[in-house]
Structures are given as structure tokens and as C-alpha cells.
Amino acid sequence: MKDNYISKDGLEKVKVELEQLINIERPEVIERIARARELGDLSENAEYHEAREKQSFIEGRIQELEYLLKNATIIKASKKTDAVSIGSTVHASCDNGLKLKYTIVGHTEANPGEGRISNESPLGQAFIGKGIGHEFELNVPAGKIKCKITHIE
């Protein structure tokens, strides 16, 4: 079983989503199902089937979030900045002039477009444990480019 690393902010977002699902969306869909049942024949009742599918999604998401909360490992801010770890922000420069800045997070919070990569991603795994000055290659559509870690926060 892999660790579910998550930041304090990410944990709060999960708690808010879970509360929304349990206290607002679940009761709404239960009410929709009850109203649809009152219409009679359920075999051809599109509203009923749609509400049941929504209920199934909500219940699955609730279970997923509860599991995540139960098994979460909170990422603590690292004071040690000589090696990349989960929670570190890595700055790198490449020989083609490209500048990289990524924060290493758990898979549930990863969003490369926002500068957050998973510790499980190939680049995240390549960064973990490395220090300033470490050189690496990136495979891009145009080929390989050489990069170097310049700063770790």
C-alpha cells in the first residue's frame, strides 16, 4: 500500500468536499430519488435512473475521501533544503533556457499545470533526494535537454 501524502491545504480541501457531499449533495439526491419514485413506473423513469447514478457517484466519492483522510500522511514543511523531499519546491534551469519550478506533492494534489508534480511521477522520483547542482535530462518532443537543480525551497 502506497502512502497518501497530502499538504495541510489539500487536507482542508478534502474535508470541505467531504462535508459538501455528506451534508448537501447526498440529501439532495435522496430527495430526487424519493420524488422520482412518486412518479410511478421506475423501469422507464429517466429522472430516477439519473438520480440513482448520481447517488452511486456521491457514495463512491465519499468512500474515496474518507479513505484518503484515514490514511493521509501530512506533508510537513522541510527546513532542510540541501536535498529534495516531498513538500520541497525545486528550481532548475535547462541548457535551452527553460526554467522549471515544481513543488513535490502527493498524487492526489498533483497538477503539473499549476507547478505541482507527484512524488510518484518520473520527474518527481528523479528529484527526490537530489541536491543543488544535480544534473538530469528531460525527454521532450524535440529530444533530450540537460537541466540542473539550482535552488530548493
> What architecture does CATH give domain 89-152?
Roll (3.10)
| The predicted structure's pLDDT at residue 145 | 87
Q: Which amino acid is at 63?
A: Q
Q: What are the beta bridge partners of residue 20?
A: none
Confidence category of residue 75, pLDDT binned at 50, 70, 90:
confident
pLDDT tens for 79-96 read 667 889 999 999 999 998
Hey, where are the domains in the chain?
Answer: 4-74, 89-152
Domain 4-74, CATH number (from 3.60.20.10, 3.40.1710.10, 1.10.287.180, 3.40.50.2300): 1.10.287.180
∠ CA 16-47-59, nearest 5°, is 30
| Average pLDDT value for residue range 14-25 | 97
2 has pLDDT over 70: no
Q: Where are the beta strands (DSSP E) in the chain?
A: 4-6, 72-74, 89-94, 99-105, 116-118, 135-140, 143-152
Q: What are the beta bridge partners of residue 73?
A: 5
| Cell 512524488 belongs to residue | 119
| The predicted structure's pLDDT at residue 79 | 66
Q: What are the beta bridge partners of residue 143?
A: 140
Kindly state the percentage of the chain with pLDDT values over 90.
58
